[in-house]
Chain A
Amino acid sequence: MNFGIIVFPGSNCDRDVAYVTRDLLQQPTRMVWHQETDIDDLDVVIIPGGFSYGDYLRCGAIARFSPVINSVLEHAKKGKYILGICNGFQVLTEVGLLPGALIRNRNLHFICDRIPLKVERTDLPWTQNYTDQTVVNIPIAHGEGRYYAEPKTLKKLENNKQVLFRYSSTLGHTSKEYNPNGSLHNIAGIMNEKGNILGMMPHPERASDPVLGATDGIHLFKGLLTGITH
């Protein structure tokens, strides 16, 4: 399966993701410079974390005007897979591929931590490998990760079961005290209606290498591999 990782000036988790898909999973992987437009060869596009264009103006706001974005929209239309992690999630909401917005954390500080997430659905390629595990531990690292959407949008997200990950306790309770950044409905990751686009603030690529002692994240990538080839 061909993975492509978009590189904006200011992206800084691009290589971390490539390490997972290329080195750990041995999948063909290439870096896609933001000025490229031909990405037809790719099965999965990943928009990595970082501070695209310095995140001036607003997180992800400038990245949406990049030449590569039109090709990403095409890619999405074809029903191919797109994963936006952290800044990538912010870019996806700015581009309009996912609803809502990510605003400044409730405590106004950047937060880097390992947080339990409740997996809301396991009937999708993204999460099919989490069947025996309803809570996963995945690192977060963001200053603007507080998910916000209009009540109407939220309702639609919930009704369509588009929320895939919620901040929770280790037992899967999703009450306010387990919400690190103030996200509405404890939302950590959502997908589009079709289910081919996932945006999430937590970094699955940082919980993928057994050497580093955490592997809950790699199952997301692995799920994608089996999910799509089936």
Chain B
Amino acid sequence: MTVPPFSPEEIASEGIKPAEYEEIVKRLDRHPNKAELGMFGVMWSEHCCYKNSRPLLKQFPTTGKHILVGPGENAGVVDLGDGHHLAFKIESHNHPSAVEPFQGATTGVGGILRDIFTMGARPIAILNSLRFGSLEDAKTRRIFNGVVEGIAHYGNCTGIPTVGGEVYFDRAYSGNPLVNAMALGLMETEEIVKSGASGIGNPVLYVGSTTGRDGMGGASFASAELSDDSMDDRPAVQVGDPFLEKSLIEACLEAFKTGAVVAAQDMGAAGLTCSTSEMAEKGGVGVELDLDKIPAREPGMTPYEYLLSESQERMLFVAKKGREEELIEIFHRWGLHAVVAGKVIKEPLVRIFHQGQIAAEVPAAALAEDTPIYHRELLSEPPEYARKAWEWTVSSVDACTEEGIEIGEKWQSWNEVLLQLLDTPSLASKRWVYRQYDHQVQNNTLILPGAADAAVIRLRPIPPAIATPLIKGGRGDRKGVAVTTDCNSRYVYLDPYEGSKAAVAEAARNLSCVGAEPIAITDNLNFGSPEHPVGYWQLALACRGIAEACQELGTPVTGGNVSLYNETLDSEGKPAAIYPTPVIGMVGLVPDITRTCGQGWQSEGDRIYLLGSHSPVTLGASEYLATIHGAIAGKPPQIDFELERKVQAACRYGIREGWVKSAHDCAEGGLAFALAECCISGNLGAEITLNAPQNGQRWDEILFGEGGNRILVAIAAESQSVWEDYLGEVLNNLWQGVGTVTQLEGNLRISRGSRTSALLDVKICDMRERWSRAIERRL
């Protein structure tokens, strides 16, 4: 090989490893120029080409009766019947949010929305899965505030309700927060708009905003560890404009309906480079693009800058020849740029012109398909941290009694323990967050945030915005979609395989708790560096767990996002990785929106049941162990899929029959915590009777132990016999009546069998005070 025209530092600065540079030269049969090197740098980043994760992602189930579009397009699409086609996807914007929280979060939302409407779907809901460090830390508070405000700004302005998600706080995320945004859209076009270019000679249209110098090389930036220097990398963060996005949504959907658009691709990561090469590669054709035609935000931009810019709110279309003017007019009416900037060519390459010269010419496949893949070696045995954590047994926890527990010479009653858990920001009310999100716009939000285990949105086709004649309308549909995001990353950290299975199972359980049938998932794999054996071990085992759980629960994977290198390097270069966090975004079908339910108790006298009651619980990896005892140890609960399916099916059936009036998953904090939430939500007390511990079980295991397969439901007293007959039939003895809903502003009282003294007896107002102000009072 001849001497490269670049120094090793220049090559490394594009995120390209020396061996990868050699591969580039092989594919080009020459050295790349600066612009081409930049193109390879972003396209061969983990963010764009999944070079570390692709072999692992292959094991995911991706087909099923509802699946219309699986992984590989801008978003997955599922068929919900009656002509409702739902597009949905999740994506991360972790590193930009670490450096510039507000813009990082806004553009994270903007990017995922474009993935949805590029398919021809109108966005109908946004969710966010967020992880931050501890709120005791001022820097975390700044990031948390900025991220929430950024999400609010973008979602609120574009008029898409932000209806759900999750927020966790843990020191593992101090230097590297996670910002994952998920969006759902309802198809408005008859055909799903795909991204493969076709029709030699067809014009290539650039539409939307201008191209500037923002977000340069963001994809590469997202695929490296964060260090002290990253903070100087602000230009790698994009700047969003939700007003342009809103207009772009309307203009694109209108354009797609003309039938003049052959293919569309949004410009997200790697901007023009990614959109041209992916459209060309997927269509098996080439794309020629003239940079002089691109509306520029500033003069004097080089080809390198054009090609790597990640300016927001831009799209690339392939139009039918002769119909480009029709499309351009639509975009101009919405005040957006639209220009013919190139054409589809036969040779399968991306050819870029700048000032009359060829500025770059690269085979499309070399950028988008024939990319590096790393098959890494899996550790032959679990890493030391895990083995050590697994040595934990419950015997290392101080002994407890019926009244409470002595921890380090301090006596704590179960009341105090529960109140402390309620005051834990990860478990507490997220009202401070979702009150900043417009969660009702579009008039389809059936269940408000915080009221149930999952969000429920009515499915209703939306008429066009612009001048329609005076018409009278019809009524909405009866179908709805339920959606949730879930991941208990402490579980995954302590056992990536079991923890990931639990994440999928919990997502499905949350959907079942609102009466929805789980349909499919999108996943966001947030992990540390795969180049470290431990990081790869976590990733590989998590993927195995997700694949297995999705198979078991019949919820295929329709796509998602991989975010690796979520590590912070301290000033000495020592890496600290986040907890491995595979966020599961799951959608489910609500056949009848008049038959759903929330988590709060509904009426005094209702009977309370625990489904899956004899399922084993553990303090291992539990919130109780972490918060009350300060220990991150043990093994997380294991999911019994047979029981999981049965419990969820029973819950859904009960809701559809109208027996079940409220349902709530028993997750972090165990049974006692779930009961507390039902009381607070419904503002009604509960009188609970539990069996005495058996087989050496402890009271804290009964109250705060965590396990899968468990759902708390309440039913009207008059449904008791029919409900119990049904349970006997489908769950045998794996359920238990545990108590009764009591009066308004009553107490949560838990006692043992026939004895009258209570283990736990707390006023709702005391619980609410802790739970509702836990986040706010730390800001």
Tell yes or no: B722 within 8 A of A by CB: no
Partner among B152, B241, B471 whose Cβ is within 8 Å of the Cβ of A29: B471
Output the least CB separation between B248 and chain A (Å): 11
Q: Which residue of B247, B435, B470 has the most chain A CB atoms within 10 A of its CB atom? A: B470
Contact A41 B436 (CB under 8 A): no
**Across-interface contacts of B72 in A (CB, < 8 A):** none
Asked if B476 lies at the interface with its beta carbon under 8 angstroms from chain A, I say yes
- Contact status A212-B467, CB under 8 Å: no
Q: Mark A123-146, 1 if CB is under 8 A from B, else 0.
A: 000000000000000010101000
Most buried by B among A11, A23, A112, A113: A112
Bound Cα distance A33, B458 (Å): 27
Residue in B444, B446, B465 with the greatest tally of chain A CB atoms within 10 Å: B465
Select from chain B the residue with minimum beta-carbon distance to A113. Answer: B435
A191-214 vs B, Cβ < 8 Å mask (1 yes, 0 no): 000000000000101101101110
Stretch at the interface among A49-57, A89-97, A168-176: A49-57
B440: chain A residues at CB < 8 Å are 112, 139, 141, 203, 206
Number of A residues near B (Cβ < 8 Å) is 49
- Picked from B241, B437, B443, B463, the residue with its CB within 8 Å of the CB of A112 is B437
Q: Are B442 and A112 in contact (CB-based, < 8 A)?
A: no
Q: Is the CB of A33 within 8 A of B466?
A: yes
Partner among B444, B446, B463 whose Cβ is within 8 Å of the Cβ of A18: B463
Q: Does A222 contact B (CB under 8 A)?
A: no
Verify if A71 is at the interface (C-beta below 8 Å from B): no
- Residues 463-479 of B contacting A (Cβ, < 8 Å): 463-476
A148 to B434, CA, bound (A): 26
A30 B470 Cβ-Cβ under 8 A: yes
Given contacts A19-B473, A54-B243, contact A30 B157 (CB under 8 A): no
A28 & B467 in contact (Cβ 8 Å cutoff)? no
Bound-state Cα–Cα, A30 to B153, Å: 29
- Asked if A36 lies at the interface with its beta carbon under 8 angstroms from chain B, I say yes
Q: Give the distance to chain A from B763, nearest Cβ to Cβ, in Å.
A: 21
A143 to chain B, nearest CB (A): 7
Please tell me which one of the listed residues A16, A30, A110, A143 contacts residue B442 in the complex, with CB atoms under 8 A apart.
A16
A9–B156 contact, CB under 8 A? no
**A141–B441 contact, CB under 8 A?**
yes
Does residue A31 face the partner (Cβ distance < 8 Å to B)?
yes
Query: CB-nearest residue of chain B relative to A42?
Result: B470
Contact of A211 among B241, B246, B436, B476 (CB under 8 A): B476
Whether the Cβ atoms of B471 and A15 lie closer than 8 Å is no
Which residue of the partner chain, among A15, A29, A209, A213, contacts B462 with CB atoms under 8 Å? A15
Q: Which of chain B's residues has its CB closest to A35's CB?
A: B333
Q: List the B side residues contacting A33 at CB < 8 Å.
A: 466-467
The answer on a CB contact under 8 Å between B246 and A10 is yes
How many Å from the CB of A160 to the closest CB on chain B?
32
Partner of B443, one of A26, A54, A109, A209: A209
The contact string, 1 if C-beta is below 8 Å from chain B, for chain A 1-41, is 01000010111111110111011101111111100100001
In whole angstroms, what is the CA distance A205 to B157 when docked? 18
Q: Which of A53, A110, A211 is in CB contact (< 8 Å) with B446?
A: A211
Q: Is B438 on the interface with A (CB-CB < 8 A)?
A: yes
**Closest chain B CB from A165 CB (angstroms):** 18
Assuming the contacts A16-B443, A22-B471, asked whether A7 and B594 have C-beta atoms less than 8 A apart, the reply is no
Contact B465 A31 (CB under 8 A): yes
Cα–Cα, bound, A31→B441 (Å): 18
Interface SS majority for chain A: mixed
The yes or no answer to B512 lying at the interface (CB within 8 A) is no
Known contacts A10-B246, A211-B593, A141 near B156 by CB under 8 Å: yes
- Chain A residues with CB below 8 A from B342, complex form: none
Most buried by A among B435, B437, B462: B435
Is A9 a contact partner of B466 (Cβ separation < 8 A)?
A: no
Q: How far is the CB of A17 from chain B (nearest CB, A)?
A: 9
Instruction: Evaluate whether A28 and B243 lie within 8 angstroms (CB atoms) in the complex, with A15-B442, A50-B159, A211-B593 already known.
Output: no
**How close is A45's CB to chain B, nearest CB, in angstroms?**
13
Q: Are A54 and B157 in contact (CB under 8 A)?
A: yes
* Chain A residues, Cβ within 8 Å of B444: 212
Query: Which one of A12, A26, A53, A54 contacts B159 once the chains associate, using CB atoms below 8 Å?
Result: A12
Residue B158 contacts which of A12, A15, A16, A24 (CB distance < 8 angstroms)? A12
- Pick the contact of A31: B434, B436, B443, B468 (CB < 8 A): B468
Q: Do the beta carbons of B474 and A31 come within 8 Å of each other?
A: no
- A76 contacts partner chain B, Cβ-Cβ < 8 Å: no
Does B467 lie within 8 Å of A36, measured CB to CB? Answer: yes
* Most chain A Cβ neighbours within 10 Å, of B153, B335, B440: B440
Shortest distance in angstroms between B589's beta carbon and chain A's nearest beta carbon? 17
Contact A110 B438 (CB under 8 A): yes
| A109–B438 CA distance with the chains assembled, in angstroms | 12
How far does the alpha carbon of A13 sit from the alpha carbon of B458 in the complex, in Å? 16
Q: Which residues in B have their C-beta under 8 angstroms from that of A10?
A: 157, 243, 246-247
Which residues of chain A have C-beta atoms less than 8 A from B472's C-beta?
Answer: 22, 26-29
Which residue of B has the minimal Cβ distance to A33? B467
Q: Which of B410-463 contact A (CB under 8 A)?
A: 434-446, 458, 460, 462-463
Residues of B within 8 A of A56 (CB): 243
CA distance A23 to B735 in the complex (A): 45
By a CB distance below 8 angstroms, the chain B residues around A50 are 159
Contacts of A27 in B (CB 8 A): 472
Is the pair B243, A16 in contact by a Cβ cutoff of 8 Å? no
Q: A184 at the A/B interface (Cβ < 8 Å)?
A: no
Cβ distance A140 to chain B, nearest Cβ, rounded Å: 10
Is A111 positioned at the interface, with any CB of B under 8 Å from its CB? yes
Q: CB of B242 within 8 A of chain A?
A: yes
Bound: A208/B247 CA distance, A: 27
- State the 10 A-B residue pairs at the shortest beta-carbon distance, nearest first: A12-B159, A54-B243, A23-B473, A28-B470, A22-B473, A16-B443, A141-B438, A30-B470, A51-B157, A33-B467
A residues apposed to B, CB below 8 Å? 2, 7, 9-16, 18-20, 22-24, 26-33, 36, 41, 49-51, 53-56, 109-113, 139, 141, 143, 203, 205-206, 208-209, 211-213
**What would be 11 A-B contacts, judged by CB atoms less than 8 Å apart?**
A10-B247, A12-B441, A15-B462, A15-B463, A19-B443, A31-B467, A54-B241, A109-B436, A111-B435, A205-B443, A212-B444
Known: A110-B436, A111-B435. 5 other contacts (CB 8 A): A15-B465, A41-B470, A51-B242, A110-B152, A211-B594
